[in-house]
Amino acid sequence: MAIYVVLMGGPGAGKGTQAKKLQKQMGLPQISTGDLFRENFKNETKLGRQARPYVDSGELVPDEITLGMVGERLKRPDTEGGAIFDGFPRTIAQADALEALLAENGERVNVVPYIHVDKDLLLKRLAGRWTCPVCGRVYHDLFNPPQKPGVCDVDGAKLYQREDDTMDTQRRRIEVYFEQTAPLLDYYRGKGLLIQIDGEQSIEQVFEDLRKAIEEAR
Ligand code: ADP
Ligand code: AMP
C-alpha cells in the first residue's frame, strides 16, 4: 500500500536530515521543494529564475509556481508507492492542492509527523548548517559535524553554506514559518493526522520516533 508522509516543522527542525534517512530505510522518495528549487537554480531554468528572488529573501515562492513543480514531480513513477514530503505543503492552499493531486490516484496523505523544535534552537541549527552540493546531506558544525571538517562523509564533496542561510534570511524564514505555515498544524490536527515528535532529541532518537509513527500509520 502506498504511504504519503508530510514532514512538518520549522526551518532547521531536521526535516531534510530525517527525510534522507527515511528515504534510505523505507525506500520512499524524498520530495523536498527547497531541493527542487535549488536544482532549478543550478540548471538555470525559467522556473529557477522565477523562484530565486523569493528564496533569496526568505519569502515563500508563490503557490502557482510551487504547485506546478510538485505536480510534475508526482508524475514520476518512483512516487507510486508513496513519498516523503519535506518543506511542502507550506500553506493551506498547497495542502488542499496536494490532497486533490493525490486523490486523482485514489491516494491521500497518511501521516503528518511534526518535528517540534523551539524557536531559539531553530536559529542555532540554521546558523551552523553545511550542505553537500552532490547528495544534499546536511551537517552542523557543532551538533552534527562531518568526520573530516568541510567534507561530506558519503561522497567527499566540499560542503557549502546555503545562500539563504544568512542571518537576516534565516530570521525571515522563521517568521514566515510562524505566519504562513504553522496554521497547517491545526489543519492536519483537525484531520487526525498530526503526530508531534520531540525534535530536540538526538538525530537517531528523532528517527526512531518517526519510524514508529510512520509504521503505525501504514
Ligand atoms: P530542515 O530541513 O527542517 O530545515 P535540516 O535537516 O536541514 O532542517 O537541519 C538543520 C540543521 O540542524 C542541520 O545543520 C542539521 O545537521 C542539524 N540537525 C538536524 N537534526 C538535528 C538533531 N536532532 N540534533 C542536532 N542537530 C540536528
Ligand atoms: P527549504 O529548503 O525547505 O528550507 O526551503 C528554502 C526556500 O525555498 C524557502 O525559504 C522558500 O523560499 C522556498 N520554498 C521551499 N518550499 C516551498 C513551498 N512549499 N512553498 C513556497 N516556497 C517554498
Query: How far does the centroid of ligand 1 lie from the alpha carbon of residue 106, in Å?
Result: 33
Is residue 163 within 8 Å of residue 131, measured between CB atoms? no
Taking the domains of the chain in order of start, what are their residue ranges?
3-119+180-217
Question: Mapping DSSP to helix (H, G, I), strand (E, B) and coil, where does residue 88 land?
Answer: coil
Active-site residue 76, yes or no? no
**Grid coordinates of 145:** 559535524
**Grid coordinates of 165:** 542561510
**Grid coordinates of 50:** 522565477
The pLDDT confidence band at residue 164, using thresholds 50, 70 and 90, is: confident
Q: What is the mean pLDDT of residues 65-76?
A: 96
**Grid coordinates of 213:** 509513527
Q: If one looks up domain 3-119+180-217 in CATH, what number appears?
A: 3.40.50.300
**What is the DSSP pairing of strand 30-32 with strand 82-86?**
parallel
What are residue 75's DSSP bridge partners? none
82-101, pLDDT tens digit by residue? Answer: 999 999 999 999 999 999 99
Is residue 140 within 8 Å of residue 128, measured between CB atoms? yes
CB atoms within 10 A of CB 212: 13
Which residues, judged by CB distance below 6 Å to any ligand atom, belong to the binding site of ligand 2?
Answer: 11, 33-34, 37, 54-55, 58-61, 66, 87-90, 94, 164, 173
Is residue 138 within 8 Å of residue 16, measured between CB atoms? yes
The structure's pTM equals 0.97
Residue 130, pLDDT > 90, answer yes
9-21, pLDDT tens digit by residue? Answer: 999 999 999 999 9
CB atoms within 10 A of CB 32: 23
Q: Give the ligand with the smallest distance to the CA of 47.
A: 2
